[in-house]
């Protein structure tokens, strides 16, 4: 009888220990009773929770709530990399609220904290394009490419900035390099064609546009651009045909459709 009781007690202890192992807490309890240390742990925990809540808010498009969360994180003065990351996330919320100046300020601060933060550079170029600051966009894009010369986004971003700023030579170099790694990217063929057209290299522009259209036959903007290039080459009949096709392909873009129709009707029928 005593033996049976002892076995039962031992079995009970083993079972209880196994159950305890199953429910090991994820966050071990602090082993300090120091008030400043406990306060620091609480702050760290608040930062983690607010990041989670802020990112959840961004994922459901609640940008105002996200701004509040990330501003509170910054008020807690988080160490790196949380500081630059909070500013980066706050900038995304501001940009979606079309507060582009605020977004740019936060991204600049994030890059100052972490000078190799490529995603922040990428977003700052896009934000600067939205706010029309081509000067800063170009400066950041140059830095982005210097840090990662093969980045597709860096090449594309600087190419777009260069085209908008009238620097067709840089745009030609960037889109050309982007296409060496991505020959089937129709959009880059279109933008390279624009650079070639602005440099008066119509044969090259026509070739790039025909490549873009072979990759994406319904690319109405490329079709329209091909009409313009053919017109510059003196191929009026071929240009009219392309404008006609552009009016059909641009069914979802009334502005482009109107321009294409006007161009088509401005060329006399032989």
Partner 1 sequence: MSRTLVRPVLVAALLALLLICGRFAVAGAASLEDALTGTLAPSAAPSLLGPITSAGRVGWECKPERSAASGGWHEAELPRGPFAP
Binders in 82-111 for partner 1, by CB under 8 A: 82, 84-85, 88-89, 92, 95-96
Stretch that binds partner 1, among 3-11, 15-23, 27-35, 212-220 (CB under 8 A): 212-220
Contact residues for 267 (Cβ-Cβ < 8 A; gap 6+):
231, 236, 239, 240, 243
The answer to whether 141 contacts partner 1 (rule: CB under 8 A) is no
DSSP character for 62?
-
Residues 34-93 that bind partner 1 (CB under 8 A): 47-48, 51-52, 54-55, 58-59, 80-82, 84-85, 88-89, 92
Residues 218-257, one symbol each (x = binds partner 1 by CB under 8 A, - = not), give xxxx--xx--x--xx---x------------x--xx----
The answer to whether 151 contacts partner 1 (rule: CB under 8 A) is yes
Give the max Cα distance, the chain.
116
Stretch that binds partner 1, among 5-13, 14-22, 26-34, 114-122 (CB under 8 A): 114-122
Q: How far is CA 74 from CA 89, 123, 188, 196, in A?
A: 11, 19, 39, 46
Closer residue to partner 1 (CB): 37 or 160? 160
The Cα–Cα gap between 107 and 84 comes to 8
Q: Is 77 left (phi over 0), alpha (psi -120 to 50) or beta?
A: left
Contact residues for 204 (Cβ-Cβ < 8 A; gap 6+):
193, 196
Stretch that binds partner 1, among 9-17, 19-27, 32-40, 147-155 (CB under 8 A): 147-155
Measured in whole angstroms, the distance separating CA 144 from the mean position of its chain's CA atoms is 13
The answer to whether 270 contacts partner 1 (rule: CB under 8 A) is no
CB of 80 to partner 1, least distance (A): 7
The answer to whether 17 contacts partner 1 (rule: CB under 8 A) is no
């Amino acid at each position: 009888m005593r033996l049976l009781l002892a076995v039962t007690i031992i079995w009970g202890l083993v079972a209880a220990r196994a159950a305890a192992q199953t429910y090991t807490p994820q966050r071990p309890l602090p082993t300090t009773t120091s008030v400043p240390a406990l306060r620091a742990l609480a702050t760290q925990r608040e930062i983690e929770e607010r990041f989670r809540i802020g990112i959840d808010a961004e994922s459901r498009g609640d940008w105002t709530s996200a701004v509040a969360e990330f501003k509170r994180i910054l008020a807690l003065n988080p160490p790196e990399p949380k500081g630059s990351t909070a500013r980066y996330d706050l900038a995304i919320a501001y940009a979606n609220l079309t507060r582009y100046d605020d977004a740019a300020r936060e991204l600049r601060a994030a890059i100052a904290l972490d000078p190799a933060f490529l995603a922040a550079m990428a977003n700052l170029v896009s934000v600067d394009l939205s706010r029309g600051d081509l000067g800063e966009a170009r400066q950041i894009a140059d830095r982005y490419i210097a840090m990662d010369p093969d980045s597709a986004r860096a090449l594309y971003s600087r190419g777009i900035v260069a085209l908008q700023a009238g620097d067709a030579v840089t745009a030609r170099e960037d889109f050309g390099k982007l296409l060496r790694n991505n020959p089937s990217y129709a959009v880059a063929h279109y933008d390279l064609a624009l650079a070639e057209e602005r440099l008066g290299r119509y044969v090259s522009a026509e070739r790039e546009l025909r490549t873009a259209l072979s990759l994406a036959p319904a690319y109405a903007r490329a079709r329209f651009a091909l009409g313009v290039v053919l017109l510059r080459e003196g191929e009026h009949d071929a240009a009219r045909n392309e404008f006609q096709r552009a009016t059909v392909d641009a069914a979802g873009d009334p502005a482009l459709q109107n321009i294409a129709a006007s161009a088509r009707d401005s060329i006399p029928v032989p």
